[in-house]
Structure 1
Amino acid sequence: MGTLIGHVGPGFGFFVIGFWHLYNHLRLLAQKGPAHYTNLAWFPAKLIRHLELYLIMGGCAASVAMELFIGPDRHQPFDPDGTIPSNHLHNFEHSSISLTFFVYAAFALVLDKLSLTRSRSGSAPETRPGPAQYDVLQFVGAMAFGQQLLLFHLHSTDHMGVEGQYHWLLQLVVFVSLATTLLGIGAPRSFIVGFVRSLSILFQGVWFMVMGFALWTPGLIPKGCFMHEEEGHKVVRCDSDESLHRAKALVNIQFSWFLILLAIFAASFYVFMIRVYGGEHDHKTADYSPMSSLTTSDEEEEDVEAQKIGGKSTETQRFVRNNKAIDHMER
């Protein structure tokens, strides 16, 4: 990161994964219905089952290589004495985030390969996940989002400038991804949890790309601000506090507008997917019958009580017909 391509590249990756998850969550909901829906951590592709995991690992490996070996002038991030220089601290932070997502994808790949077993006929493989495999995988994914949130919150880059405002708003989106991933452990059949998580991942990608173009395109830099090279990379600085406040306000407005567009897109895409795939699922409605009222039997009920009062025998007979009691006493 720290450049236009360093933000647009990872942002496009987040966008693709988020859209892929959103598409599959809505497709499963439309085809199977809420009763049979399951909130999966990743989705297999038709031609290449583990394509999503391969893309995550490939993108993360490329990001680590770019941060630590391709980007630095000496093609390695260390000083001659083997220490980490100050201008490369952010490279290690970014590569640590990528490495965590790489571990998540690799772990998901290994678990899925171990769960694939041959059927008794020996033809088609069957998936037999291990005990709590879904929960463990979601937890590893939550750790990846948690580390992303932590490193962006404790970022070595200045949080007081325009770039810091972009990062602060990004933390809100990452927190939603973290929270929904943790909620998915306890609610694996909740559609809204998977729906919101996929939207948050997609929005991470959108915000990364917006950040890349807005901070490293001279024509998009707010009025009163300029690009300045510090510690080996370019940052946006403003010539006065008023210009800085205005630039931060513009960032907040951008975030609000993109959030509105995300809501419109999510609702529209939901309607589209339900219309396209909704016919494949026979929606079953529960039949609710009103509570039946108590009715009396047509048979007569007779209650005879014998009592002895003061040495005298009293016999009482009650005949109940049509819910009316008739008392007849004989002495």
Structure 2
Amino acid sequence: MGSFKGHALPGTLFLLVGMWHIWSSVVRYASNPKTFRVRVWNPVPCFDGRLRYLELYVIAIGAFLDMCIELLYSTHLKFFVDGVLNPSHMNDFEHSGMLFMFFIFSVVSLLSEKTRFLPLPEGTLCLISATAFSAEYLLFYFHSTTHKGLEGYYHLLLVFIVGLCILSTVVGALLPTSFPVDLCCGIAITLQGIWFYQTAFVLYGPMMPDGCRLKDNNVSCHSIESAVRGEMLANVQLFLEVLGILVAVVVSYGFAASRYGNSDLKSMQTIQDGLVQH
């Protein structure tokens, strides 16, 4: 079982990175579609480039702080009991491992971009990012904390979203000029962040479905009907979140095209309009 803060903190990290990825993707494509390339991270152009690596620093610092909370604070430094890993905090150890993978990704990316000791192509960084997402996928799929009932259903949907992150990142390495793939990656990361928040508010906050409750650190429903109603509500929530993200993407693209679009983008749209008319 987790907690509200335990879901809100990583949710904030994924949400910020995902939204920045979406915006950067549409701006880069609108600015020059012919030179568009998939990027696993996007530089921040503000303040004469002094914030260029802000995204990587956010991932590194956020993952490190969350890892310290899981490994040091949540376990109360009781790592071993009778010579073995403390079974009461296996989920904290697993979360720490997942966060450590994202920390590694950010550090490797910084070394690749800022130094000459580890020059890696963008495709390789995509695969390293996919490895971090794969660790997250395996964590939630083979969790030591057995997720059952409504809690299990929310985490099952989370596993599907993480799988989409893996797929889009791997395809990004294989199709380095695909705008839809790069945009899909940003959408998947954003959706993961929102779903972390959704899980926090439903399982540990004020949005618990009628007939279900959190007691003794477990979510239980009074009847099968209540559990089914809660799962159907989760489906509706996920649908609305996907719809909201798609609307936000369309609005962002329209704004980016009007402000940063060049003649190449407009000519491509004119050709497409002509093909549709014929």
Please say whether Structure 1 and Structure 2 have the same fold, judged by a TM-score greater than 0.5: yes
1:90-145 deviation per Cα after TM superposition (whole angstroms, max 9, x unaligned)? 111111110000000000011112249xxxxxxxxxxxx94x62222111111111
- Tell me how many residue pairs correspond in the alignment: 266
2-structure distance, mates of 1:271, 1:82: 59
1:168-206 deviation per Cα after TM superposition (whole angstroms, max 9, x unaligned)? 111111111101111111110100000000010011100
Contact 1:31/1:280, CA 8 A, preserved across alignment: no
**Residue number in structure 2 paired with 1:40:** 39
Q: Tell me which amino acid in the other structure corresponds to 2:93.
A: F
**Residue number in structure 2 paired with 1:255:** 238
Is 1:101 aligned to residue 99 of structure 2? no
2-structure distance, mates of 1:115, 1:40: 19
Q: In structure 1, which of residues 56, 60, 73 is the aligned counterpart of residue 63 of structure 2?
A: 60
Does the residue aligned with 1:91 lie in a helix, a strand or coil?
A: helix
**Residue number in structure 1 paired with 2:192:** 204
1-structure distance, mates of 2:24, 2:193: 18
Gaps of 5+ in 2: 272-278
1-structure distance, mates of 2:124, 2:96: 24
1:209-268 deviation per Cα after TM superposition (whole angstroms, max 9, x unaligned)? 111111111x32111111122xxxx22111222222222221122112212222222222
Q: 1:238 to 1:278 in 2, by over 3 A?
A: same
**Residue number in structure 1 paired with 2:261:** 278
1:45-90 deviation per Cα after TM superposition (whole angstroms, max 9, x unaligned)? 2322211111101111111111111123xx1142442422332111
Shift of 1:283: 4.5
Structure of larger gyration radius? 1
- Runs (4 or more) in structure 1 with deviation over 3 Å come to 279-287
2-structure distance, mates of 1:154, 1:269: 37
1:279-319 deviation per Cα after TM superposition (whole angstroms, max 9, x unaligned)? 586755699xxxxxxxxxxxxxxxxxxxxxxxxxxxxxxxx
Is 1:71 aligned to residue 58 of structure 2? no
**Residue number in structure 1 paired with 2:183:** 195
Q: In structure 2, which of residues 213, 226, 244 is the aligned counterpart of residue 243 of structure 1?
A: 226
RMSD of aligned alpha carbons: 2.2
Gaps of 5+ in 1: 117-128, 288-331
- TM-score, normalising length from structure 2? 0.89
Does the residue aligned with 1:220 lie in a helix, a strand or coil?
A: coil
Contact 2:71/2:77, CA 8 A, preserved across alignment: yes
Q: 1:25 to 1:246 in 2, by over 3 A?
A: same
Structure with the higher helix share, 1 or 2: 2
**Residue number in structure 2 paired with 1:221:** 208
2-structure distance, mates of 1:193, 1:212: 29
**Residue number in structure 2 paired with 1:81:** 82
2-structure distance, mates of 1:15, 1:248: 23
Higher relative contact order (CA 8 A, sep 6+): 2
**Residue number in structure 1 paired with 2:142:** 154
Contact 1:174/1:200, CA 8 A, preserved across alignment: yes
2-structure distance, mates of 1:174, 1:190: 20
1:11-40 deviation per Cα after TM superposition (whole angstroms, max 9, x unaligned)? 01101001111111111111112x110111
Share of identical aligned residues, percent? 31
Contact 1:224/1:238, CA 8 A, preserved across alignment: yes
Contact 2:15/2:193, CA 8 A, preserved across alignment: yes
2-structure distance, mates of 1:137, 1:115: 15
- TM-score, normalising length from structure 1? 0.75
**Residue number in structure 2 paired with 1:268:** 251
Is 1:27 aligned to residue 27 of structure 2? yes
Does the residue aligned with 1:227 lie in a helix, a strand or coil?
A: strand
2-structure distance, mates of 1:20, 1:263: 15
**Residue number in structure 2 paired with 1:2:** 2
**Residue number in structure 1 paired with 2:152:** 164
**Residue number in structure 2 paired with 1:299:** none
Contact 1:215/1:235, CA 8 A, preserved across alignment: no
Q: 1:203 to 1:77 in 2, by over 3 A?
A: farther
Structure with the higher strand share, 1 or 2: 1
